[in-house]
Structure 1
Amino acid sequence: MDSLSQIALGSAVAVAVMGRQTSVKKAALWGAIAGTLPDLDVLIDYGDDLSNMVQHRGFSHSLFYLTLVSPLLALLICKVHGEMAHYKRWLMAILLVLLTHPLLDTMTIYGTQLALPFSNYPFGIGSIFIIDPLYTLPLLVGLAWVLLKGRRSLAANTAGLVFSSCYLLWSVAAQQHVIQAAQQQLSATQHNQVLVTPTAMNTLLWRVLVMTDTAYYEGFYSILEKNTEITFKAYPLDQKLYRQYQLHPNVQTLAAFTHGFYAIAREQEQVVVTDLRMGQQQNYAFSFVVPEQADMNTQRLPRELQLTDTLSWVWRTLRGQHTAGLNQLPHNLTSQVPAVDCRRPAAVQCNSH
């Protein structure tokens, strides 16, 4: 999640755990600091743009390492404020703040390596967008209220935490609903994987990504609509490029990190590999130039952030105005690419990572 959400969550958790054991401002401050610490790994340069991407949310988001760090940070806080009598409570607060940070990140699709050093698997449920006001605002309102009113209003902070947590549960339930709708519609098509993620800053309009051997398909599903049919636009895959670059270390790295949701294409004189999970067609968050030699640095292509246009498109789509979308949807999955075999059913794999 974004930095503001992590700061708000860290402060809210610390205030809730410390209660009346210390001042609200002190708990909120240290909660914000601890809630920010895991994301300081962005200051580390791992050598090139691709490495910086896949190593982010790495060791600093490991539940094991954060558990080891929490007693030291709690001890530091107690020493600074002379509150050794409350060490156990501070330890519980800091431990929960540090652990909830990567757990919240796991709700997004990016990929969080929770299990290091035992596994570098990038976990990502993908039920919430990296920025979602309906998650963050309740935390901020609850914190603001208790900071203004003092410890007699701790219930407001708790209410903010409860509301934001319920919103996360709603996002998972909504995602499962869309997955089931996609499963039903795709049950007679041959495909490899399906990914369902929310569009920008909401959990009402969902993006459905379908991978096949010859193409990938992008469609959108609005929970507000009565019509449950998902319409898709097809993007053929360059099989020659895939065969040529599938063993390239950089391509293999991104393929593993994205769980197979990637594409290789030639753009002018460059071969580009793209993470298909974040963003949408023509405006993906992460695209990299594949170097001719494996030992060369991998450069990320600049992205033009179209947040205003994207939010406007989300709003129009939620209102049922499909024809003016960024990608000129809809198209039918089964009619766009003849190579998709619709005659024999195949098992549907809905991978939410």
Structure 2
Amino acid sequence: MDSLTQIVLGIVTAEIVAGKKLQNRTFLYGAILGTIPDLDILVGKFMSVVDGVAIHRGLSHSLLFFVFLAPILGFLIAKIEQGKIDFKRASWMAFWCLVTHVLLDMFTSWGTQILWPLEYRFALKTIFVIDPLYTIPLLISLIYVWKSKNFVDRKKYLYRGLLISSGYLLLTCVLKLVAVHQFEKALEQQNISYQEIIVKPTALNTVLWNANIASVDGYFIADYSFFDTQPISFVFYAKNKALEKKIEHIEDFQKLKDISEGWYLVTEENHTICFNDLRFGLLTTSAETPKFVFSYQFVSGYDGKLTAKEVPKAKRDGKALLKNIFTRMKGN
């Protein structure tokens, strides 16, 4: 999830575990602890583009890492807050702030290696990385907590916010099941054979859902809104095996294949070969010249070696994407 949401969730968790001991100091510790797992993004800045993407939500999001890190953080907090909180409770606070960060990330589309060093990424794909309907109830509850000095009242406000946000998170799971059913029914009605399907919400909402459907020769991509009145329309994108063969020897290509979990298309534009990660949708809906949210072009370095570089996105691309989403949300 986005940094603000993780900070807010970290504060809520710290307050529940140690609010009686630390009072409003939980806002500082919760914000820091809730941010720590995403520091892998900073580490990635010192690596190649592909390697930086590969490590995100890996080691820094694993239970094994937290088991070792939490006591260290707990020791430091107990030292700083000597007389207010002991080592055990401080370590417990650190552990749960780290764990809740990862548990929330598991509901998004990217995937989280919570069981690292196992490579499998857990991704429920029920919520977009930014969703105000999840964040706002927690944020409002913290405003009341900050103003209150009564521990019982602080807990009451926290649990109300947590109940609403968690209830919404549970609702997104139900909504996804409904969306999956609609896509599967449409595929059956249109006699489309397929091997695998993934369904996830589009940006900033859980009304409009997107599906990637893998077949032998390519991928079908479709949208479904709960306000749709017409049948779901599937757009087919063919695999380009010949083009893929040209870059199969490139190390970054093999890494990107693993990162995308096999959901990718290789395209060519202006004599430049691009790797497109299908899991995060399209910027444009043209079947002839599709532009994907996450796309990498292979460019030659000083040594002549081809490496992947993310295709830059213009501000107008994001604005156009959001405009299309909110228009499509209203139904087909």
TM-score by length of 2: 0.88
Per the alignment, residue 321 of structure 2 pairs with: 310
Tell me how far apart the structure 1 counterparts of residues 213 and 76 of structure 2 sit (CA, whole Å): 49
Tell whether 2:97 aligns with 1:100.
no
Amino acid at match of 1:166: G
Q: State the partner residue of 1:299.
A: 309
Are positions 1:285 and 2:293 aligned together? yes
Question: Which position in structure 2 is the counterpart of 1:197?
Answer: 200
In 1, Cα distance between equivalents of 2:318 and 2:282: 12
Matches of 1:103 and 1:247, distance apart in 2? 36
Instruction: Report the secondary structure of 2:40's partner residue.
Output: helix
Structure 2: how far apart are the matches of 1:139 and 1:108? 18
- After TM superposition, the structure 1 stretch with the greater mean CA deviation from structure 2, 171-180 or 80-89, is 80-89
Instruction: Give the C-alpha shift of residue 243 in structure 1.
Output: 3.5
In structure 2, the CA distance between the partners of 1:312 and 1:112, relative to structure 1 (3 Å rule), is same
Could you give the per-residue CA deviations for residues 253-311 of structure 1, whole angstroms, max 9, x where no partner exists?
22222221111001112111011111324353321123579964421111224443333
> In structure 1, what is the Cα distance between the partners aligned to 2:195 and 2:276?
18
The separation in 1 between residues aligned to 2:266 and 2:53, in whole angstroms, is 18
Of residues 250, 254, 257 in structure 1, which corresponds to 2:256?
254
1:214 counterpart (211, 214, 217): 217
Using the alignment, how far apart are the partners of 1:206 and 1:34 within structure 2? 32
Mean Cα deviation higher: 256-265 or 3-12: 256-265
Task: Tell me, in whole angstroms, the C-alpha distance in 2 between the residues paired with 1:165 and 1:294.
Answer: 51
**Contact between 1:113 and 1:121, CA under 8 Å: does it hold in 2?**
yes
Separation in structure 2 between the aligned mates of residue 209 and residue 296 of structure 1, nearest angstrom: 29
Aligned to 2:287: none
1:310 and 1:186 mapped to 2: Cα distance?
A: 25
Aligned-pair CA distance for 1:33: 0.3
Q: Report the residue type matching 1:47 in the other structure.
A: M
| Contact 1:128–1:197 under 8 Å retained in 2 | yes
Q: Distance in 2 between matches of 1:85 and 1:245?
A: 57
Is the 8 Å Cα contact of residues 17 and 92 (structure 2) preserved in structure 1?
A: yes
Kindly provide the amino acid, as one letter, of the partner of residue 27 in structure 1: T
> What is the DSSP-based 3-state SS (H/G/I as helix, E as strand, rest coil) of the residue aligned with 1:276?
strand
Summarize deviations over 1:103-158 as a string: whole Å, max 9, x none: 211211112222222x1222222111110100111111111111022333321122
Moved more, 297-306 or 105-114: 297-306
- Deviates further, 124-133 or 148-157: 148-157
CA distance in 1, matches of 2:307, 2:261: 22
> Where in structure 1 are there 5+ consecutive unaligned residues?
323-353
For 2:281 and 2:131, locate their aligned partners in 1 and report how far apart those are by CA, in whole Å: 15
Distance in 1 (alpha carbons) for counterparts of 2:49 and 2:167: 36
Alignment RMSD, CA only?
A: 2.2
Deviations 1:199-243 (A, max 9, x none): 11111110111122323222111123455x321222233231134
Q: 1:82 to 1:303 in 2, by over 3 A?
A: same
* Structure-2 separation of matches of 1:67 and 1:14: 17
For 1:222 and 1:251, locate their aligned partners in 2 and report how far apart those are by CA, in whole Å: 34
Is the partner of 1:208 in helix, strand or coil?
Answer: strand
Match of 1:124 in 2: 123
Structure 2 contact 58–113 (Cα < 8 Å) conserved: yes
Q: Which has the higher strand share?
A: 2
* Contact 2:202–2:208 (8 Å) recurs in 1: yes
SS in structure 2 of the partner of residue 20 of structure 1 = helix
Q: What amino acid sits opposite 1:132 in the alignment? A: D
Q: Which amino acid aligns with 2:12?
A: A
**Larger relative contact order (C-alpha < 8 A, sep ≥ 6)?**
1
Classify the secondary structure of the residue corresponding to 1:285. Answer: strand
2:180 is equivalent to residue 179 of structure 1: yes
Q: Distance in 2 between matches of 1:171 and 1:64?
A: 28
1:58 to partner: Cα distance: 1.6
User: Percent identity of the aligned residues?
Assistant: 31
Measured in 2, the distance between the counterparts of 1:200 and 1:85 equals: 41
Which residue in the other structure is 2:133 paired with? 134
Structure 1 CA distance for aligned equivalents of residues 256 and 46 of structure 2: 15
Q: Distance in 1 between matches of 2:263 and 2:244?
A: 13
SS at match of 1:255: helix
- On the 8 A contact 1:105/1:112 being kept in 2, the answer is yes
Per-residue CA shift, 1:61-87, capped at 9, x if unaligned? 111101210011111111101136533
Going from structure 1 to structure 2, the CA distance change for 1:224 and 1:156 (only over 3 Å counts) comes to farther
Greater than 6 Å deviation, 4+ residue runs? none
TM-score, normalization by structure 1: 0.83
Tell me the residue number matched to 2:12: 12
SS at match of 1:278: strand
Partner Cα distance (1:211, 1:85) in 2? 53
